[in-house]
Chains A and B, each alone.
Chain A
Amino acid sequence: MRVILAEDSTLLREGLVRLLTEEGHEVLAAVGNAELLLKAVAEDPPDVVVADVRMPPTHTDEGLRAALEIRERWPAVGVLVLSQYVEKRYATELLTGETEGVGYLLKDRVVQIDEFLDALERVAAGRAAFDPEVVRQLLGRTTHTDLLARLTVRERDVLAEMAQGHTNAAIARRLHISQSAVEKHTNAIFDKLELTGGEGYSRRVLAVLRYLGS
């Protein structure tokens, strides 16, 4: 996997480079601000970009802006955004428009190396990866609580996993249930949430997320 990193803290940037190299990935560039990130992507588009939301000069949302621009100009490049804390606005902005190959993780999640690498691979493969905490908060904050209230506890669990970007197989593994049970649950969820149509898997997941984030 070919990766470009954008992270202003040298310490973390170096750590990430080490980590990814050790895991056998190729780090094309590791930069400290959004401008350099865009330049690096333009020079040699990678499979996936990992970008911190806050970067110099203003330390507000340069990373996110750059991520959105990358998604627009290079749709094939996956974008994984790391954030200091859950910001609904960021997640929603990432979720609007095409939603393949997008991820939004809390920075602390990097510490769970397995989960981080898993999320990175999902994003690089054109799927989605959303932080469980982000999903939990979006679920908690959704305005469609009346619809969500119809779901059973199990269905909520499945929805949460699904919203993080996991495939049915992964959900089955994570929740220790059979794959057919997951399929049954997902169909029930779509029925209850009145979501019809949709073909691709990730599209359905993101439709749910978008619905929750609205």
Chain B
Amino acid sequence: MREMARRVARCGVGLIMGTATAAVELLFALMAGVALLPVAAWPTARRAVLRPVLAGARRLARWERARLAMWLDLRVTPAYEDVRALRYVACHWALGVLGGVVMLTAAIGIGYGTFGIYGWILLDGIRNPGSFVLGSLGGFFLVFLAVQGIFGVVGLEGQLARHFLGPRHQEELERRIEELSASRAAVVDAVTDERRRIERDLHDGVQQRLVALGMLLGRARRSQDADRRDRLLGQAHDESRRALDELREVAWRIYPTTLDEAGLRAALETVAERASVPVGVEYDVAEEPGQAVSTVAYFVVCEAVTNAVKHAAPTRISVAVRAEEQRMYVSVQDDGCGGANAAGSGLFGLARRVAALDGSLSVISPPGGPTLVAAELPCG
């Protein structure tokens, strides 16, 4: 109920502001019309007059967009041409007037509805209580109608804004296709990068260890001296253990099996345990997210933590994961030296992975720190 009242109040304020902007817009449209009328026949002059007019329309449309988003919770995807903005400005005044009338009705309703209370306090005796009650009831009915009217006008505002300021259906589809092809290409790239990294991990890490191990064994076999042979075999034994560790590391970097077996929370805790810097994990997700989401969330945390440890020399890293309204928010903050490059291969790769899920990744890392890597992922 309170939520509802707050919403009505906000929309009401938005409509009053809409009335004010509509007045400005009407004035602007009239002046623009007056300015354009004498030059309508000459294309060059028309263009010269049109340029500031369109700039003005664009600015007014931007204000409107801000008003709609702030007070009426209407978000319109920004895509419009100047001419459409001008049309919007020219049409919006009628809605402004309507909004004003609705708000006036609401004010009158409130006035009548509460008149009885004033009357009670201000007048000594009430001669005709029945008419007061009737008047109040009428006033409240008027308020009820006005509330309906507010929602009606807000709906119309939305339609008008989407019609003129939002992308047309075709455009919207085209834009979506563009986005999808871009993210598909990015996914392919990200997978290729990943393969390259795995190949490098195997060849430059594990293979080197195994060759070194083989060399130790080979030297031991060639050795005539029993003591030396023992020492070399001992080294080889150690090396074989390190090769195994390395292999486990590589396999882990390719895919953490904990993620499947014990879920995202456990996988993140393992990341924290493995880091050489204290990592605090705050996990506030009621329901285990889908596999695609948890994998990406895991890699965001893993990569961000690895990056921080490697480049920022932090003393502490805090990881927070929470889910709200079908979206998952992942943030990794460190108190290191900052200056992380969002276009660097690691973070850029992450951004691509996140984009593939229609999410977004932001990196805030001023020189001197701290660094915040935050991802927003749609889930469900």
Residues of A within 8 A of B (CB): 8-9, 11-12, 15-16, 18-19, 22, 54, 59, 84-85, 107-108, 110-114
Contact = CB atoms under 8 A, between A and B. Distances in A.
Most chain A CB atoms below 10 A, which of B203, B215, B216: B215
Nearest to B217: A111
Q: Which 10 A-B pairs have the closest CB atoms?
A: A111-B214, A113-B218, A9-B208, A15-B215, A84-B203, A15-B212, A11-B212, A12-B208, A12-B212, A110-B211
Contacts of A114: 222
A84 B205 CA distance: 12
A11 B209 contact: yes
B219 interface: yes
A9 B207 CA distance: 10
Contacts of B215: 12, 15-16, 19, 110-111, 113
Contacts of A85: 203
Interface residues of B, dominant DSSP: helix
B204 A15 contact: no
7 contacts: A15-B216, A54-B204, A59-B200, A107-B207, A111-B214, A111-B215, A113-B218
Given A54-B204, A59-B200, A107 B218 contact: no
A33 B162 CA distance: 60
A113 B211 contact: no
A53 to B, nearest CB: 11
A110 B215 CA distance: 7
B204 to A, nearest CB: 7
How many interface residues does chain B have, given as a range? 10 to 19
Contacts of A8: 204
B207 A84 contact: yes
B116 to A, nearest CB: 84
A12 B200 CA distance: 16
Interface string B178-212: 00000000000000000000001001100111111
Contacts of B222: 113-114
B219 A108 contact: no
A111 B222 CA distance: 12
A14 to B, nearest CB: 8
Given A12-B211, A111-B211, A59 B218 contact: no
Contacts of A111: 211, 214-215, 217-218
Contacts of B211: 12, 15, 107-108, 110-111
A15 B207 CA distance: 14
Contacts of B214: 108, 110-111
Given A12-B212, A108-B210, A113-B218, 17 more contacts: A9-B208, A11-B208, A11-B212, A15-B211, A15-B212, A15-B215, A15-B216, A16-B215, A19-B218, A19-B219, A59-B200, A59-B204, A111-B211, A111-B214, A111-B215, A111-B218, A113-B222
A8 B200 CA distance: 13
A160 to B, nearest CB: 23
A7 B234 CA distance: 24
A20 to B, nearest CB: 11
A15 B218 CA distance: 11
A49 B130 CA distance: 112
Nearest to A115: B218
